[in-house]
């Protein structure tokens, strides 16, 4: 763990420069707006350790899979979101010496992410080798109102003498991905234009031929007035710069306003891209920094009105949850069903920026409860539009008759993960896609999504499950062989309990959905049957047989479901016995040792108990929690949140709080020593769930909202907001009461700790309870 960031309710603050943690800081101080994003790199030159990164949504490259051997069914490429043009750059030299924090004597330094307003600020004062002392103040943001636009205000002040300042704003498309398999560069330059204080660079991606145009325009202010600049332009392949010099006296300031626009062929015709970039850039320039900032700030205020969580008397917990919510809101805005949520968002290269099952299992609930319903629906439509690719993926592995296997990793629906134990075996992901459909319908009441979108996906996934099992004469049951469950510290196991369980659940839910469609929309059902060539009699009969006869590993002595066959053959030493110097074990142990150990990366059996909680009593869940949690090393970012929810539900508030802090501050405190690679964006949805579903106990049962809140001992109170079927609710939990404000024009009935409560429109209801 690292503890160099200051605790603050609304801000992330690095006080004093920590070059040894700079990559981690660059991840944490990232900005985004759903269409583009970038790491918290410096505007000026920095020769120290850094991972430069700017990313454009939906733009990727199919990097050739690099493995030592090949197997049938292997994906041919690993998709990665590409590092795009560095548009933030402003080179500075003072009396001929380059401003570079890696080579200066730093007197003071402060880097600050204002989560309330969506801005990144930095100030420092430092002494150059030539004796000049300067103070620099920079502030930038990526507009969430006009998502192609980014703006920078950069101010330099001379502190101890006069000097000549040379400034060089630039756009650099000659970039690379640090994780490139073959040290390949992925951009081909197409167009350059550089005249005065304005310039443009456009480039297209190899193979995929996405076209991106990046433009910049700037002005300079001295003594409160715009300075007339004598600009020298320079251009080379995929790079433009514009230099100017100004003589400043001691105490004077130079402020540069730099406006950047990044457009892509995903949203504009290629033939119009440069012209559109010019139009947007000149409009932004004319609007100016202050007005763009004010509309951006106001938009963030509206976002926080529907998604904020307030925690009293625990600044670390408060900062953690707001950081998670901030990153979720700036990563995905839900206005484009072609986009999804990469595990690192716009904060780094790892995982390629592609989509995993994390979206359905961990992110969807956040957007369901805090956004317009279309935002969550677009996440489902993303998968529906990839159904044909999922069927194709299954076909490559030998499955027949419309079976669909959704990819573990994807950009366009094709599988592009290159580890066999994941690509071929971690098939529980298919169940998460089906579960998301149920989750969406259960929360919104929008059963119409089944006709025809949801049902086609469910049929494809159920066909896969019915073919993936095989009959065991020995066990006289259906079994699922050669899989990897959510616990990726086990590979190629037989009968992973969660995988078998979610397969059976999917088959049951699909049958229920078929019956609903036959009753409510018979014409739609007939059309779907014909389109999918569904043999209702034989296929449903097989599904029912699998449901009835699926095998589940079980320990009758402990009365627990076993994670997989043979799990009890392991040496069941708790994770607390591991030498702390060997944690995380993924960075210290051999893979052989990990596979032989009993240690669990993330919730596996417990993932099922969370997802299908209503099917089990509290004693059953508690028994499993007590067995599996001590064996869990929580080395997946997706682990602590699920355990928080379960701990809260079975009466373990201290454990719930401990695990909540881990998930909320996972990146801020670098629990797993990997924040430098980028943030764990998708797990941040789980952090939100830890508060709302864990401590708040929020569930939807039989079309009604239920709250069973607990209050962590360190908290005076907490308050969260949700949108449930058109009702905007603000829920505050205190030790003696729950206060719920219905910010809506209609009444709503719900349950609080089992008691029915009617919330009157536009009023606050106080439910007296003793909350522990």
Residues labelled catalytic: 488
* Residue 195 neighbours by CB distance under 10 Å: 12
Q: What is the DSSP letter of 690?
A: I
Angle at 289 between CA 283 and CA 292, to 5 degrees: 65
Structure tokens at 482: 């050669």
* Residue among 303, 440, 417, 423 nearest 360 (CA): 440
CB 632 within 8 A of CB 490: no
Contacts 24+ apart (CB under 8 A), 15-20: 15/109, 15/110, 16/108, 16/109, 16/110, 17/101, 17/106, 17/109, 17/111, 17/124, 19/48, 19/49, 19/101, 19/102
Q: Is the dihedral of CA 485, 487, 493, 496 positive or negative?
A: negative
Element (H, E) at 125: strand 119-127
Query: What single string gives the DSSP state of each residue in 97-109?
Result: EE--GGGSEEEEE
Contact criterion met (CB below 8 Å) for 27 and 668: no
Contacts of 226 (CB under 8 A, 6+ apart): 219, 220
Interior CA angle at 261 toward 260 and 267, to 5°? 165
Is residue 665 exposed (0-12), middle (13-18) or buried (19+ Cβ within 10 Å)? buried
H, E, C per residue of 403-450:
CCCCCCCECCCCCCCCCHHHHCCCCHHHHHHHHHHHHHHHHHCCHHHH
Are the beta carbons of 101 and 126 closer than 8 angstroms? Answer: yes
Bridge partners of 115?
none
**Strands 748-752, 717-724: pairing kind:** unpaired
Apex 185 CA angle, 184 and 187, nearest 5: 145
Cis peptide before 584 (omega within 30 of 0): yes
CA pair distance 330, 199, nearest whole angstrom: 27
For residues 116 and 11, give the distance between their C-alpha atoms in angstroms, rounded to a whole number: 8
Residue with tokens 């669990």: 600
The full 3-state SS of 590-649, as one line of letters, equals CHHHHHHCCCECCCCHHHHHHHCHHHCCHHHHHHHHHHHHHHECCCCCCHHHHHHHHHHH
Angle 566-626-618 from CA coordinates, rounded to 5° = 110
Tally: H helices and E strands in the chain = 20, 33
Query: b/e per residue, 305-318, with b = 16+ CB within 10 A?
Result: ebbbbebeebeebb
Distance CA 51, CA 26 (A): 8
Chain centroid to CA 579: 31
Q: Distance between CA 231 and CA 225 in Å, rounded?
A: 17
């Amino acid at each position: 763990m690292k503890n160099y960031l200051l605790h603050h309710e609304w801000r992330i603050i690095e006080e004093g420069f920590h070059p040894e943690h700079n990559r981690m800081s660059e991840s944490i101080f990232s900005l985004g707006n759903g269409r583009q994003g970038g790491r918290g790199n410096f505007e000026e030159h920095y020769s120290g350790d850094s991972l430069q990164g700017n990313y454009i949504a939906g733009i990727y490259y199919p990097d050739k899979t690099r493995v030592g051997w090949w197997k049938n069914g292997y994906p041919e490429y690993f998709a990665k979101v590409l590092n795009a043009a560095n548009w933030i750059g402003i080179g500075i030299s003072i009396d001929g010496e380059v401003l570079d924090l890696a080579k200066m004597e730093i007197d003071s330094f402060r880097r600050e992410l204002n989560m309330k307003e969506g801005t990144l600020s930095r100030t420092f004062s430092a002494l150059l080798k030539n004796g000049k002392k300067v103070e620099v103040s920079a502030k930038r943001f990526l507009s969430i109102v006009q998502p192609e636009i980014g703006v920078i205000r950069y101010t330099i002040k001379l502190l101890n003498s006069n000097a000549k300042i040379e400034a060089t704003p630039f756009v650099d498309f000659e970039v690379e991905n640090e994780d490139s398999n073959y040290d390949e560069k992925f951009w081909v330059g197409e167009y350059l234009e550089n005249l005065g204080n304005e310039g443009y660079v456009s480039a297209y991606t190899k193979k995929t031929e996405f076209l991106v145009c990046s433009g910049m325009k700037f002005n300079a202010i001295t003594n409160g007035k715009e300075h007339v600049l004598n600009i020298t332009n320079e251009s080379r392949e995929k790079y433009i710069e514009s230099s100017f010099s100004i003589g400043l006296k001691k105490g004077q300031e130079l402020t540069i306003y730099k406006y950047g626009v990044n457009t892509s062929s995903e949203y504009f015709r290629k033939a119009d891209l440069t012209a559109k970039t010019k139009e947007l850039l000149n409009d932004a320039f004319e609007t100016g920094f202050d007005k763009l900032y004010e509309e951006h700030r106001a938009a963030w205020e509206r976002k926080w009105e529907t998604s904020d969580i307030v925690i009293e008397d625990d600044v670390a917990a408060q900062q953690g949850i707001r950081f998670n919510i901030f990153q979720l809101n700036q990563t995905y805005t839900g206005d484009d069903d072609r986009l999804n949520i990469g595990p690192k968002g716009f904060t780094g290269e790892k995982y390629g920026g592609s989509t995993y099952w994390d979206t359905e299992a961990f992110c969807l609930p956040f957007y369901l409860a805090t956004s317009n319903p279309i935002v969550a629906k677009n996440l489902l439509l993303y998968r529906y539009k990839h159904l044909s690719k999922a069927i194709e993926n299954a076909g490559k592995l030998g499955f027949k008759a419309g079976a669909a296997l959704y990819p573990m990793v994807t950009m366009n629906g094709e599988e592009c993960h290159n580890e066999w134990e994941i690509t071929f075996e971690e098939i529980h992901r298919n169940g998460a896609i089906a579960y998301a459909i149920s989750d969406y319908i259960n929360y919104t009441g929008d059963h119409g999504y089944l006709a025809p979108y949801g049902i086609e996906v469910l049929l494809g996934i159920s066909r896969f499950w019915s073919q993936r099992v095989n009959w065991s004469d020995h066990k006289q049951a259906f079994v699922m062989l050669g899989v990897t469950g959510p616990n990726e510290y086990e590979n190629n196991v037989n009968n992973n309990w969660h995988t078998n369980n979610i397969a059976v659940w999917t088959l049951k839910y699909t049958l229920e959905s078929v019956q609903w469609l036959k009753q409510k929309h018979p014409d739609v059902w007939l059309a779907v049957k014909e389109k999918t060539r569904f043999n209702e009699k034989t296929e449903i009969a097989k599904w029912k047989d699998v449901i009835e006869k699926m095998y589940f590993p079980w320990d009758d002595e402990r009365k627990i479901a076993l994670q997989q066959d043979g799990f009890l053959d392991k040496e069941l030493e708790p994770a607390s016995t591991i030498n702390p110097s060997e944690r995380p074990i993924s960075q210290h142990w051999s893979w052989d040792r990990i596979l032989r150990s009993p240690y669990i990366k993330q919730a596996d059996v417990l993932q099922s108990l969370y997802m299908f909680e209503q099917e089990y009593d509290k004693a059953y869940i508690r028994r499993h929690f007590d067995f599996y949690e001590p064996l869990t090393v929580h080395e997946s970012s997706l682990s602590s949140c699920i355990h928080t929810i379960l701990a809260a539900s079975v009466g373990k508030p201290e454990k719930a709080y401990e695990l909540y802090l881990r998930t909320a501050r996972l990146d801020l405190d670098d629990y797993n020593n990997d924040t430098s690679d980028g943030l764990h964006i998708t797990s941040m949805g789980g952090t939100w769930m830890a508060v709302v579903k864990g401590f708040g106990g929020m569930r939807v049962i039989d079309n009604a909202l239920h709250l069973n809140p607990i209050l962590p001992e360190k908290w005076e109170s907490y308050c969260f907001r949700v949108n449930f079927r058109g009702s905007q609710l603000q829920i505050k939990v205190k030790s003696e009461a729950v206060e719920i404000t219905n910010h809506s024009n209609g009444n709503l009935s719900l349950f609080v700790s089992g008691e029915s409560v009617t919330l009157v429109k536009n009023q606050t209801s106080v439910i007296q309870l003793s909350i522990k």
